[in-house]
């Protein structure tokens, strides 16, 4: 019997429909599927400012299912906290990410500005909110988003050592 164990941890979209983020671990490999922003109530949005519940530097790869913000919006935060591996996705997702991540940056800036205004008016703690990213910060680390590691033209791929996709889905 093999000694390999695959574990799945939900870091988002559990008990809510936003913030999709699942971590697969097998032996010494770790792959994140999606890295989405939480949207909705203040309680959910506050989760976007928490540290990642895992070490991004120890991830081998990220697989994006699609470009929606609730699946990709925290990629800049992931990179800022140490992720440097490939991001696997379709070419269509790569094309959309430039626009989607700029929008995500705009949302982060707006939320930080709004929260700081409220804190100032209420005379709260002078600690200022800062955005996880800005409209421009994704450009500084554009390489991971424009990764040449789009899905290869074959029916299976290996995003990390010991992990292999064997689905019958074929990229276009």
pLDDT tens digits along 93-136: 888 888 888 877 777 778 778 877 776 555 655 555 555 554 43
**Can you tell me the distance from the alpha carbon of 101 to that of 105, in angstroms, rounded to the nearest whole number?**
6
Please give the average pLDDT of every successive group of 10 residues along the chain, which has 172 residues.
Answer: 79 87 92 91 84 93 90 88 88 84 77 74 55 45 40 53 57 36
Domain count, the chain: 1
Structural domain contains residue 161: no
Structural domain contains residue 125: yes
Structural domain contains residue 154: no
Structural domain contains residue 150: no
**What's the confidence (pLDDT) of residue 62?**
92
Structural domain contains residue 68: yes
Q: Which of 66, 92, 87 is nearest to 75 (CA)?
A: 87
77-90 per-residue burial string, b: 16 or more CB within 10 A, e: under 16: bbbbeebebbbbbb
* CATH code where residue 46 lies: 3.60.15.10
**H helices present in the chain, as ranges:** 42-46, 69-72, 75-80, 91-122, 137-140, 142-145
Q: Report which DSSP code applies to 146.
A: T
- Three-state SS for 87? strand
* pTM for the model: 0.70
């Amino acid at each position: 019997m093999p000694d390999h164990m695959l574990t799945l941890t939900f870091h988002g979209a559990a008990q809510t429909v936003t913030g999709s983020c699942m971590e697969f671990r097998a032996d010494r490999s770790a792959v994140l599927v999606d890295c989405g922003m939480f949207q909705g109530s203040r309680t959910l949005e506050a989760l976007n400012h928490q540290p990642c519940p895992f070490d991004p530097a120890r991830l081998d790869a990220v697989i994006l299912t699609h470009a929606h913000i609730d699946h990709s919006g925290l990629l800049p935060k992931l990179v800022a906290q140490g992720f440097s591996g490939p991001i696997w996705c379709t070419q269509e997702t790569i094309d959309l990410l430039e626009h989607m991540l700029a929008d995500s940056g705009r949302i982060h800036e707006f939320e930080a500005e709004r929260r700081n205004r409220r804190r100032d008016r209420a005379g709260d703690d002078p600690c200022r909110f800062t955005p996880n990213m800005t409209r421009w910060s994704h450009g500084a680390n554009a390489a991971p988003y424009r990764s040449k590691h789009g899905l290869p033209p074959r029916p299976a791929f290996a995003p990390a050592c010991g992990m292999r996709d064997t689905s019958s889905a074929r990229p276009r």
